[in-house]
């Protein structure tokens, strides 16, 4: 005898899950719960997910997922859950937002935002697509089995007001106020913003980061200490490796702060081939927003190297892993291209 109610209750969904785990057949479960077989099949399809068993994967039913999708459909007044009809699409998005790698390991440093995950899914050729707002709605309503709002990197930051400049740049050095308009308007590649990511107290080593203002490509190099000579040595190596022509295409100008490691202007700009290798422009004191592109990238780098990191224990290979992630991260401001594609 079947029940008159149309929907399963949450308790019945948990019973269904336990019966399936016990190996019971659909006909037996339908009789036990008082539903027709088609209702049981529909519910199993609704709550199906791929379970990693180590050496193999298998499809299982989750009462939690079935209940979450049911709740969403109810609040949506019966509209079908678009993402729920394409499990491969939903699983792909969830894995990207959780930082699940191709190997199956979870690296939470490599989590993608919902918008970036949607772009990666588009590149994979999925026929299903949802907008960013819809995806955030699904996350809010706990449609995904393992993903919630607390798993996202950022929930939206309050934009801080730019502070009024109180101090001028170093009076004897080129000011950002004199920077050409083509650099200010991000009109061409090759104009970098640079800074240091410092480690824990007592650690001499640091990481020199360089961000292209237009293309957003990132470069980063470990240096043994925060001295000006160590910073110059990085540019000397790059100039020697790339050659004069290629180097000057990639490094047309530098925008930086007034840190002592950058203040030896004549030595910093001196090319190993003779002459000046690039122009340098100095921000106003206490005005980090004047090189905001680099500041934002450094914030992303901090996913991999949080404050308190001892850079003496960090290899250049680990730094390059973080750089590769940033350079392959789709950006809205680049028309959802990756920096490596925009360079």
What mean pLDDT do residues 78-84 have?
A: 62
**In this structure, is residue 161 part of a structural domain?**
no
Whether residue 221 sits in one domain with residue 85: no
Question: Residue 256 belongs to a domain with what CATH number?
Answer: 3.30.420.10
Higher confidence at residue 277 or residue 162? 277
* Angle, CA of 290, 296 and 300, to the nearest 5°: 160
Whether residue 183 sits in one domain with residue 308: yes
Task: Among 14, 35, 62, give the residue marking a domain's end.
Answer: 62
The share of the chain scoring above pLDDT 70, in percent, equals 89
Mean pLDDT across the chain, nearest whole number? 88
Q: pTM above 0.85?
A: no
Whether residue 319 sits in one domain with residue 252: yes
Whether residue 97 sits in one domain with residue 206: no
Pair of tokens at residue 325: 């992630």
Residues 6+ apart with CB under 8 A from 326: 218, 297, 300, 301, 339
Q: Which helix (H) or strand (E) holds 58?
A: strand 57-61
Full residue range of the structural domain in which residue 189 is found: 176-342
**In this structure, is residue 330 part of a structural domain?**
yes
Tell me if residue 19 falls in helix, strand or coil: helix
Can you give the pLDDT at residue 4? 45
Whether residue 57 sits in one domain with residue 86: no
Q: Residue 169, Cα to own-chain centre: how many angstroms?
A: 33
Q: Closest Cα to residue 278, out of 304, 321, 242, 325?
A: 242
What mean pLDDT do residues 60-75 have?
A: 80
Question: Residue 8 belongs to a domain with what CATH number?
Answer: 1.10.10
Residues 6+ apart with CB under 8 A from 3: 33, 34, 35
Whether residue 223 sits in one domain with residue 109: no
Whether residue 124 sits in one domain with residue 193: no
Could you read off the pLDDT of 227-278 as tens digits, one per residue?
999 999 999 999 999 999 999 999 999 999 999 999 999 999 999 999 999 9
- Cα gap 328→111, rounded to integer Å: 12
What mean pLDDT do residues 323-334 have?
A: 95
Whether pLDDT at 203 is above 60: yes
Whether residue 190 sits in one domain with residue 325: yes
**In this structure, is residue 71 part of a structural domain?**
no
**In this structure, is residue 54 part of a structural domain?**
yes
- Cα gap 164→168, rounded to integer Å: 11
Whether residue 233 sits in one domain with residue 123: no
**In this structure, is residue 68 part of a structural domain?**
no
Could you read off the pLDDT of 45-66 as tens digits, one per residue?
888 887 776 677 788 898 888 8
Could you read off the pLDDT of 98-143 as tens digits, one per residue?
999 999 899 999 999 999 999 999 999 998 889 898 899 888 887 8
Per-residue pLDDT band at 202 (split at 50, 70, 90): confident
Q: Closest Cα to residue 280, out of 210, 207, 226, 200?
A: 210
Whether residue 304 sits in one domain with residue 335: yes
Could you read off the pLDDT of 280-315 as tens digits, one per residue?
999 998 888 999 999 999 999 999 999 999 999 999
40 to each of 11, 20, 84, 117, 144, how far by Cα in Å? Answer: 14, 11, 17, 32, 21
Residues 6+ apart with CB under 8 A from 42: none
Whether residue 333 sits in one domain with residue 260: yes
Q: Radius of gyration (Cα) for the chain, nearest Å?
A: 27
Whether residue 215 sits in one domain with residue 103: no
Per-position DSSP letters for 104-155, written without gaps between them: S-B-GGGPPPHHHHHHHHHHHT-S----HHHHHHHHHTT-SSS--GGGSS-S
Q: How many CB atoms lie within 10 A of CB 123?
A: 11
Whether pLDDT at 215 is above 60: yes
Considering its fold, how many domains does the chain have in total?
Answer: 3
**In this structure, is residue 170 part of a structural domain?**
no
**In this structure, is residue 76 part of a structural domain?**
no
Per-residue pLDDT band at 331 (split at 50, 70, 90): very high
**In this structure, is residue 169 part of a structural domain?**
no
Can you give the pLDDT at residue 145? 79
């Amino acid at each position: 005898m079947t029940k008159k109610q149309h929907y399963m209750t949450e308790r019945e969904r948990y019973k269904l899950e336990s019966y399936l785990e016990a190996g019971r057949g659909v006909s037996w479960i339908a009789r036990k719960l008082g539903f027709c077989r088609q209702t049981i099949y529909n519910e199993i399809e609704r709550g199906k997910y791929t379970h990693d068993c180590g050496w193999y994967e298998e499809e299982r039913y989750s009462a939690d997922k079935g209940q979450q999708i049911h709740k969403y459909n109810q609040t949506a007044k019966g509209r079908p859950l678009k993402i729920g009809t394409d499990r491969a699409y939903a699983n792909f998005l969830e894995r990207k937002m959780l930082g699940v790698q191709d190997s199956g390991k979870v690296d939470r440093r490599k989590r993608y935002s919902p918008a970036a995950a949607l772009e990666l899914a588009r590149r994979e050729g999925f026929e299903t697509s949802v907008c960013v707002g819809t995806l955030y709605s699904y996350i809010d309503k706990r449609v995904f089995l393992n993903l919630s709002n607390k798993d996202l990197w950022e929930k939206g930051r309050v934009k801080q007001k730019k502070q009024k400049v109180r101090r001028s740049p170093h009076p004897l050095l080129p000011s950002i106020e004199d920077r050409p308009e083509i650099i200010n308007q991000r009109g061409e590649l090759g104009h970098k913003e640079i800074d240091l990511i410092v480690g824990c107290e007592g650690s001499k080593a640091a990481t020199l980061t360089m961000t292209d203002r237009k293309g957003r490509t990132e470069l980063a190099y470990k240096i043994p200490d925060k001295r000006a000579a160590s910073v110059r040595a990085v540019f000397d190596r790059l100039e020697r490796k790339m050659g004069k022509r290629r180097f000057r295409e990639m490094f047309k100008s530098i925008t930086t702060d007034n840190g002592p490691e950058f203040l030896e202007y004549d030595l910093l700009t001196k090319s190993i081939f003779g002459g000046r290798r690039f122009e340098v422009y100095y921000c106003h004191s206490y005005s980090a927003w004047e090189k905001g592109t680099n500041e934002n990238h450094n914030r992303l780098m901090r996913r991999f190297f949080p404050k308190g990191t001892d850079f003496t224990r960090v290899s250049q290979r680990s730094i390059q892993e973080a750089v590769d992630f940033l350079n392959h991260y789709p950006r809205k401001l680049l028309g959802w291209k990756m920096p490596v594609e925009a360079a």
